[in-house]
Amino acid sequence: MVYLKELSLNDGQEILDMIREIGPGENGFGNSGWDMKDEEFEWYLRRNIRMAQGIGLEPHLVPETMYWLYVDDRPVGIIKLRPILNQNLRKLGGNIGYCIRPSERGKGYGVLILKEMMKKVKARGMSKVLLTVNEDNIASRKVIESNEGELYDIIDGKCRYWINVY
């Protein structure tokens, strides 16, 4: 059984464990909170709920919603959706960022997490999404290309891909 679950105040220890396993993040995927204490977890959830709702955002930020990928009731990855692009995200960051926890990589979950997200993107009525990825991040480029991503350009070692929604 595979599904994306939106971050909520109901999230518990299994999510905190995954966030800690992922660490600070790699290849442009940021995982703030990886080093939080147990008692900071609720604050982390509340902050991200406000972020999703666009409440109290600094001017350079846009709303961002986080989801967990569950496979057979185990959380295996994180994916973030930013429905609105600003000038910075158009160059780097794009609409979507994702990460699979290290212990679950190489099992097809990277392809799966983006596939599940594309269903949400479609349900929101978005017509296309931008993804940016380091030119040498072969696994992530394969994830995007497996989800019909079309390479738009490569500038200074960063690829920009668009995925059209049909």
Ligand X SMILES: CC(C)(COP(=O)(O)OP(=O)(O)OC[C@H]1O[C@@H](n2cnc3c(N)ncnc32)[C@H](O)[C@@H]1OP(=O)(O)O)[C@@H](O)C(=O)NCCC(=O)NCCS
- Which residues make up the interface to ligand X (CB under 6 A)? 26-29, 98-100, 105-111, 133, 137-140, 142-143, 146
**Closest approach of ligand X to the CB of residue 20, in Å:** 15
CA distance 75 to 140: 19
- In Å, how far from its chain's centre is CA 56? 21
DSSP per-residue codes, 49-111:
HHHHHTTT--TT----EEEEEEETTEEEEEEEE-SS--HHHHHTT-SEEEEE-GGGTTSSHHH
Q: Please say which residue, 55 or 92, places its beta carbon nearer to ligand X.
A: 92
CB of 130 vs ligand X, minimal distance in Å: 11
Nearest approach, Cβ of residue 140 and ligand X (Å): 4
Q: Which residue's beta carbon is nearest to the bound ligand X?
A: 110
Q: What is the DSSP letter of 12?
A: -
Nearer to ligand X, 25 or 49 (CB): 25
Considering beta carbons, is residue 29 or 68 the nearer one to ligand X? 29
